[in-house]
Amino acid sequence: MLQVARLAPKLLDEAGDRVVEFLQGQFNEDGGGNNRAGESDLYYTVFTLDGLIAMRAQIPIDRVRGYLHHFEHGQDLDFVHLCCLSRCWAAIGHDGLADSTRDLIIARIEAFRSADGGYHATKSASSGSVYHSFLALGAYQDLARNLPNPNDVCESTYALQTEDGAFTNEKRAREGTTTTTAAAVTLLRHLEGAVPAQAGAWLRDQAHAEGGFKAAPRAPMPDLLSTATTLHALAGLHVAFDDLKESCLDFVDSLWTGKAFCGHWADDVHDSEYTYYGLLALGHLSL
């Protein structure tokens, strides 16, 4: 994703400097990235760091490193923030992360392995979720380790496909969602699993008439997260979307505040998360 997001400056042109200024201003004194309440949060730190990497801009590495050391091996973190800790270390380089600490982080991640071989935010879950399996794979990659038993993760993911070709995070759900389907497609590709043929067509069908992609077939409007992740998944599947580029560019532009991006038309607050997804979307649309 980062490799593609690095192409965003081609379309941002002079506005890129304002994006960099915004992202650099998201760090608190302790080295953490702001959430929407202005508090340091590992989740938002990920997007602040990756956004700056995409823009090839300076990062306050020493401050961020100090912030990350505060969490040690993530013993007090939930699964999502544990994976965010791994991503943050990869973003600034592993200098300062001891191998023993890395091993402990991996052990913590494996504690969230589900009975069917996937990963779930709840320990001892009977089945995994696409989202958490996707995060687990990313964490292993960020920690320069191989994901164990990848075929089990693929099988856990296949079990979450819906009849219409999409994917859901919970087996009880009858309808899939766009972000979950995009994550499943990307996860299966990276694990060299077969991607169901109808998944790409289903994703493309979520295009909104006024640009962007919806979070689900009955969603009232498109959003930036669904748009960025769908474009990424379609590109990975080599599903053409040239006919949608102009409307998608118009949609992304409609969320631009002059220095950052909001998540959708009803959202008037910009943050580092949606700014990163704006960069990812623009990267794909620049090709």
Along the 287 residues of the chain, how does pLDDT read in single tens digits?
Answer: 989 999 999 999 999 999 999 999 999 999 999 999 999 999 999 999 999 999 999 999 999 999 999 999 999 999 999 999 999 999 999 888 999 999 999 999 999 999 999 999 999 999 999 999 999 999 999 999 999 999 999 999 999 999 888 999 988 888 999 999 999 999 999 999 999 989 999 999 999 999 999 999 999 999 999 999 999 999 999 999 999 999 999 999 999 999 999 999 999 999 999 999 999 999 999 99
What's this model's pTM, rounded to 2 decimal places? 0.97
Rounded to an integer, what distance in angstroms lies between the CA atom of residue 87 and that of residue 136? Answer: 11
Contacts of 94 by beta carbon, 8 Å cutoff, 6+ apart = 102, 144
Which position has the token pair 């997001």?
A: 5
Cα torsion angle, 85, 89, 92, 95, sign: positive
Rounded to an integer, what distance in angstroms lies between the CA atom of residue 133 and that of residue 85? Answer: 16
The 10 Å Cβ neighbour count of residue 24 is: 16
Rounded to an integer, what distance in angstroms lies between the CA atom of residue 73 and that of residue 51? Answer: 24
Inter-residue contact 82 to 117 (CB < 8 Å):
no
Amino acid type, 13: D
Q: What is the pLDDT of residue 172?
A: 80
Contacts of 49 by beta carbon, 8 Å cutoff, 6+ apart = 33, 59, 64, 87, 88, 91, 92
